[in-house]
Structure 1
């Protein structure tokens, strides 16, 4: 295991910090540990809100698709991507509000992890990228549902179909992030927002969140099934192999629609 998780207490706020050097790639094990921690905090009556953050330059550079073993996600079975999405779905079972502190790139699954949170505080250096079509692939992590829910269908379609990098200022304008602050103020700003949430009655806060996110778990579950099926069909294509190579070599893909 190369990743680490650290849990810090700040009054009624819990700060969950993950690292997986050098790019904070998402793996089955990392998502499992994050989900396990979030679900355990549901039983911690002293915890009323959570900050999700990472150490390092990127927030999360997504799954490492360049690495072939385990599909780049560290799975152990015949279908590592399904394992990956099973752990992603568990995040949506957690009951307490989450504020993501995004200091750098949130790419692919990293974008999905940021969008899972109730709020996002970002630094100007943050970049939000749904790079799936650049890989000749289908979006995953439930983003086909969660991104339109957050941004509206039009802006979500723009992100998903173009693989465009959305920088901090534009992300703020779009409503992809809730506040943009200098890098050295990022973590404290996220903690302040979480503390503001924690000032409310915890039962009322959780009940309100449950209503606001009504049906989200079921929608993400159904979307992950569809995304996984589409990705399964695209995985063996020449274009997907070329997309992975092109991204690794930092050049446009030379696709042939096969």
Structure 2
């Protein structure tokens, strides 16, 4: 699947807010004091470890907003695999401006590349199956669009972007509604013709109760692989089968081999480790 770039108009507000936070009330007083205004520099964004790059446009826009005179030239594209020492992009222009933009650019690039790298690790682990790895709504407030983009850059799929995307009936909904039947009946009555319905189940009995109501997808929560295999048999293609709970690169293969269609993991966006990327001066 081709990775479609996010338009600059979506990225710029987040990058602008990050720069304003960093510049504070007086700007970059260190660079202004130490670096002569006429100084020029040529630098490179360099990978320090293996991973997958994501967020190049965020870094580019950080440079552009600080100073349009900065020239940002990518050598790779989002989604590319990285090895230590790989040059991701060349940057040249006024030295003060480059130093001012450096931290915001690296913060976005490292964070999004970390998400893409973690996603790729699971995507590779389950590549021998039909299953795909998906993210959730467990995202950094204000950065959901960016983090979900990074998941796609790592070879993953996106779950809901928000509460208005689809109906997802979770365990608390079921408990308060009065059971699976009550929740599904009300959801089916309220859903528009383009709105899909997914329901979370913890047991095979709950699954059997939900299936007659024709959910579009079923979230099989914290089931072991042998139970997942039985759940997939009972679903028998009538709904998308999604597994969640305790998913990582080590556990994912056995879960995917159960026959589910999706594996969803919230930690991809809320806890993925930042990828180590540095900015090295070339002259």
TM-score (structure 1 length as normaliser):
0.28
Larger Rg: 2
* Higher RCO, Cα 8 Å, sep 6+: 2
Structure with bigger helix share is 1
